Amino acid sequence: MTVQSVGTAPWNGDLFRTRFFDALSLLLPSGEAFVIDAVTDAIQAGDWSGASAQSLRDEALRFVREETSHQRAHRRYNERLAQSGVPVAALEGRVASAVQELASLPLCTRLALAEAFEHLTALLSAQVLKGAAWLQGDGREARLWRWHCQEEIGHRHVAGDVGRALGVGYGQRAACLVLAALYLGMDLSRLMAQLLWRDIRSGRLSGLGLLGQCARFALRTAPGFGRIALGSVASLWPRRSA
């Protein structure tokens, strides 16, 4: 079978934009395992008697099924990255050990973090689906990202609703949103730097080329990142947290 490797050619227009999504994909299997475990533990710990609680439990079960299928799809994506020479096991290993440290936190804190990750993911997904500044073409990887983004937007409320049902408070949600944003931003930047540094060393990208692609991506996506920041701040506003 012919493999159009994720890493052999930049599937997303240029290498910088491609590596942005490759780095996100490296974060996802462990990140999604974290939200799956938090929501699964909540399903087991909660009292789901009553019609509305039962309906929320059903949504939570659907959420877990969707995240599990995202996880499988991104494992296959990351296998293709590995086939192109990217040291996926080492890069994913660092993400997994960082996520492992969060696994021992109390359930309410894990749920607040899961809600924060889901909220940020849904805000990013809404921007990604807006157009070619983020995703280009209709190849396998672009289609995977569009499908994943649509499902993230569709179930964006579930982790938060489950958290509120188990008593997660406003202060904890606000603190975890800040922590999650820092965690995502730092890990994404670190992974992108590692991928792009490899590309420069292998001659696939020059330093000047990297600067040009980075500037173009930053200019075209700045309004989207602005909307993500505003959406995050808006969610911290107490009137919006009810």
| Contacting positions for Fe ion (CB under 5 A) | 67, 70, 118, 152
For Fe ion, the closer of residues 15 and 35 by Cβ is 35
For Fe ion, the closer of residues 67 and 141 by Cβ is 67
Determine contact, residues 31/150, Cβ cutoff 8 Å: no
Task: Give the nearest distance from C-beta 155 to Fe ion in angstroms.
Answer: 6
Nearest to 117 by CA among 24, 46, 48: 24
Task: Give the nearest distance from C-beta 221 to Fe ion in angstroms.
Answer: 20
SS3 assignment, position 166: coil
For Fe ion, the closer of residues 16 and 145 by Cβ is 145
**Chain centroid, CA 157 distance in Å:** 15
For Fe ion, the closer of residues 108 and 116 by Cβ is 116
| 189 burial via Cβ count (<10 Å: 0-12, 13-18, 19+) | exposed
Taking the C-alpha atoms of residue 181 and residue 77, their distance in angstroms, rounded to an integer, is 24
Which region, left, alpha or beta, applies to residue 169 given φ > 0 means left and ψ of -120 to 50 means alpha?
A: beta
C-alpha distance from residue 203 to each of 17, 199, 210 (Å): 17, 6, 11
Determine contact, residues 16/213, Cβ cutoff 8 Å: yes
Task: Give the nearest distance from C-beta 116 to Fe ion in angstroms.
Answer: 12
Encoding tokens for residue 66? 């969707």
Task: Give the nearest distance from C-beta 163 to Fe ion in angstroms.
Answer: 14
Task: Give the nearest distance from C-beta 228 to Fe ion in angstroms.
Answer: 15
For Fe ion, the closer of residues 118 and 141 by Cβ is 118
- List, in order, residues 6 or more apart from 121 with CB less than 8 Å away: 152, 156
For Fe ion, the closer of residues 92 and 152 by Cβ is 152
Task: Give the nearest distance from C-beta 122 to Fe ion in angstroms.
Answer: 7
Task: Give the nearest distance from C-beta 70 to Fe ion in angstroms.
Answer: 4
For Fe ion, the closer of residues 15 and 122 by Cβ is 122
Nearest to 112 by CA among 28, 183, 25, 54: 183
Encoding tokens for residue 163? 């958290």
Closest chain position to Fe ion (CB): 70
